[in-house]
Structure 1
């Protein structure tokens, strides 16, 4: 929900998704090609500033979005630096430090490239782009249904919390835990019921044809793609120059 609301509030919301995807792809390619830590750090900084300054993504929303993958990356790096030796004892492996630093910086650059894309492009735009790229229609239909269910379940959850709060369901921590458990159990039932209703609707149309939506027109898509291609080419050129 945070990612979607941030994408709708982004200044680049009306920019063609193909242009933003092209720039993100160039960032991923540049991160893969670059070799030195300085180039990877500079590439990461450029991609982060592009999202924060260019797309005007709020810093708090950006940090909240990248925090979970950063935690996963931190755990992975720690597992590479601390590991069992031949005797089964856990020791510090200093020889792996250059590899860990390079892997972490490359992952950060790719994360920055993809984060800039998803935080500035609403989900319908991404779905339309994937449909143009000939992604399987079944996969796109599943993504649409999951996307819709997120909003339905969030509304149901908020209404349940409001009703429980009106009955003093969160008066103390013990009562709050009990109310949360009851609400979670009720939500599980609602998920099952709504999934069954969606399945009946799919069976009613014999699951033929894809879900269609009114396409969004981007009058300046060609010019925006050219600008994105030029900016992406500069990133790739920076990475190639570093590798050479």
Structure 2
């Protein structure tokens, strides 16, 4: 929900998805080519500032979306610090520190490129871009259904929480645990019923296996793509200069 709301509120909401995708792709490639910590820091700073200052994504939203993948990355780096010694015993080791540092910095830069794309581009625009790239329709339909089911689950969860709160279901810890268990047990049933209603609505509209959206127009797409290519070329030049 936070990702989609940030995308619609972004200053780059009306920028052509192809331009934003090219900029993100250039960030990915540059992060893959770079080697030194300085180059990674420069690339990450450019990508983060582009989202925060260029697209005007709120800092609070940016951090909230970035925290889960950063936590996963931190956990992965910590597990790499442990390895077997000559006797086969697992102990804390520092032999992997250079590799861990390189992977962490590269992951930071790639994450910044990904966040810059998803926090500024709503899903319908991404689907339109993927359709132009001849992505299989089955995959696009699955993306739409998963996207819609997130809102269905959120609505069912909020309505259930409101109903339980009105009945004093969270007046103490014991009652709160009981209400949470009942809620978890009922969520599957509610989501199943609402998904069946969505399928019935789609069948009533003669759904034939392809979901279509009203295409958006981008009058300045050519200019925007030009700026994106120039910015991407700058990041690639930094990465290539660092590599050479």
TM interval, short-chain normalised: over 0.9
Tell me the alpha carbon deviations over residues 51-100 of structure 1, each in whole angstroms, 9 at most, x when there is no partner: 11111111111111111111111111112122222323222322211111
In structure 2, the partner of 1:42 is: 42
In structure 1, the partner of 2:16 is: 16
The Cα RMSD (Å) is 1.8
In structure 2, runs of 5+ residues without a counterpart are: none
In structure 1, the partner of 2:221 is: 221
**Distance (whole Å) between structure 2 residues aligned to residue 43 and residue 7 of structure 1:** 22
In structure 1, the partner of 2:121 is: 121
Q: Taking structure 1 as reference, are residues 181 and 123 closer, same or farther at Cα in structure 2, changes over 3 Å only?
A: same
The Cα shift of 1:145 comes to 1.4
Does structure 1 residue 57 correspond to structure 2 residue 24? no
Q: Taking structure 1 as reference, are residues 200 and 87 closer, same or farther at Cα in structure 2, changes over 3 Å only?
A: farther
**Distance (whole Å) between structure 2 residues aligned to residue 159 and residue 204 of structure 1:** 27
**Distance (whole Å) between structure 1 residues aligned to residue 163 and residue 200 of structure 2:** 30
Matched length:
244
3-state SS of the aligned residue for 2:96? helix
**Distance (whole Å) between structure 2 residues aligned to residue 149 and residue 59 of structure 1:** 27
**Distance (whole Å) between structure 2 residues aligned to residue 206 and residue 88 of structure 1:** 63
**Distance (whole Å) between structure 1 residues aligned to residue 41 and residue 51 of structure 2:** 16
**Distance (whole Å) between structure 2 residues aligned to residue 92 and residue 159 of structure 1:** 48
What TM-score do the two structures reach when normalised by structure 2? 0.94
Tell me the alpha carbon deviations over residues 183-224 of structure 1, each in whole angstroms, 9 at most, x when there is no partner: 222111022223344455667788634111111111111110
3-state SS of the aligned residue for 1:215? coil
**Distance (whole Å) between structure 2 residues aligned to residue 115 and residue 128 of structure 1:** 19
**Distance (whole Å) between structure 2 residues aligned to residue 122 and residue 173 of structure 1:** 39
In structure 1, runs of 5+ residues without a counterpart are: none
3-state SS of the aligned residue for 1:95? coil
Tell me the alpha carbon deviations over residues 9-60 of structure 1, each in whole angstroms, 9 at most, x when there is no partner: 1111111111101000000000001111110111111111111111111111
